Homo-oligomer: A and B are copies of this chain.
Amino acid sequence: MNEFDFIRKIREQTRLRGASPDLLRGIGDDAAVFKSAPGSNLVITTDLLIEDIDFRHHTTMPGLLGHKALAVSLSDIAAMGARPRWAMLSLGLQAAIWDSGFADRFYEGFFGLADRYSVKLIGGDVSRAPERTVIDSLVIGECSPDRAVLRSGAKPGDQIYVTGFLGDATAGLRLLERGARLHGSREVLDPTLDDETSEVHPIDRLLLRQLKPEPRVGWGILLGDSQLATAMIDLSDGLSSDLNHLCTESNVGALIDASLIPIDPLVRDVCGRRALDPLMLALHGGEDFELLFTVDPQAAAKLPKRVDGVALTRIGEITTVSSGVQICEGSRVWNLEPGGWEHFKG
């Protein structure tokens, strides 16, 4: 199949998913054409995934990669407090990967997640790549006028929260690096199952936190609509790096309490057997795609306990910029330097 036939097939799949009155032209022209709700703001993000940097074919599956490519961009839209609407996908594939039917299963995983949030695929690009698979994912969301939650709104005294558990994705990555592989099961690839409630092998559960992250779309929409969050960021580089990003943009400091950081008991167990420090994974490990946000203490009581089954944990408080970004463990306090992922060292 050449790429024009393939694009026709994907276009047909988007057509079968039904029309959207806001989408005037999807796949099949030089560009997609859509309109935003009157007065709304548009929120747009793009994420590049490169083979052997962001994933390895032998430790994942095409469907999981399709899910993850969309998930990382949905997470950015959630971190703005916006509702995801449209997606575009650029794929660069080696000829052998193309011939293997990779793209079909990749889009299956992609649509599995997209359909859950009624996100429409409206375009993209397909190219040959000489050696490494390349994926660029783009998502456009909408929010009410001036309701986007920026990184820059945190004030001293605001309480700091995170969704879910931290460090799982890096624990999963460490397991993959040490040779663990998915036990494989219907659940792994079936996008209609919810990983967090279905019966999945415990090690698979950690591997899937790395290979099939769940963006906190529901939390993002709630925090944007309610305007409860004063600032927000998603945890993609790692808590230490991302908290520093948020504090820099807000011109504030922060003090977090190590004992409050939510760590999955399974991660503690797995780490204990493998001489890994769960706190280090939670602080500096990336790709959890949980949300980190700040809330005025007066408003904190209005926060729901859970959204879509995902709990919330208060981990600290915003301080003045002169205090810097700090962490306490019992009576010891130290500076929390960004220790997360960097592509290029300075």
Contact = CB atoms under 8 A, between A and B. Distances in A.
Interface stretch (A120-128, A188-196, A326-334): A120-128
A49 B250 CA distance: 36
Among A28, A127, A141: residue with most chain B CB under 10 A: A127
Interface stretch (A57-65, A142-150, A255-263, A295-303): A142-150
Contacts of A125: 46-48, 136
Interface stretch (A34-42, A169-177, A178-186, A198-206): A34-42
Contact of A346 (B1, B138, B344): B1
A134 interface: yes
Contact of A28 (B34, B36, B151): B151
Given A79-B31, A146-B24, A344 B1 contact: yes
Q: How many copies does the complex hold?
A: 2
Contacts of A92: 48, 50, 53, 134
A30 interface: yes
Contacts of A308: none
Nearest to A147: B33
Contact of A41 (B34, B91, B232): B34
A343 B98 CA distance: 10
Among A32, A36, A82: residue with most chain B CB under 10 A: A32
A80 interface: yes
B48 A134 contact: yes
Interface string A78-99: 0110100010101110010010
Interface residues of A, number: 79
Interface string A1-17: 11111100000000000
A162 to B, nearest CB: 15
B48 A42 contact: no
B46 A88 contact: yes
A233 interface: yes
B130 A50 contact: yes
Nearest to A2: B346
Contacts of A232: 30
A138 B136 CA distance: 10
B344 A35 contact: no
B150 A29 contact: yes
Given A44-B32, A134-B48, A141-B31, A95 B344 contact: yes
A80 B43 contact: no
Contacts of A47: 90, 125
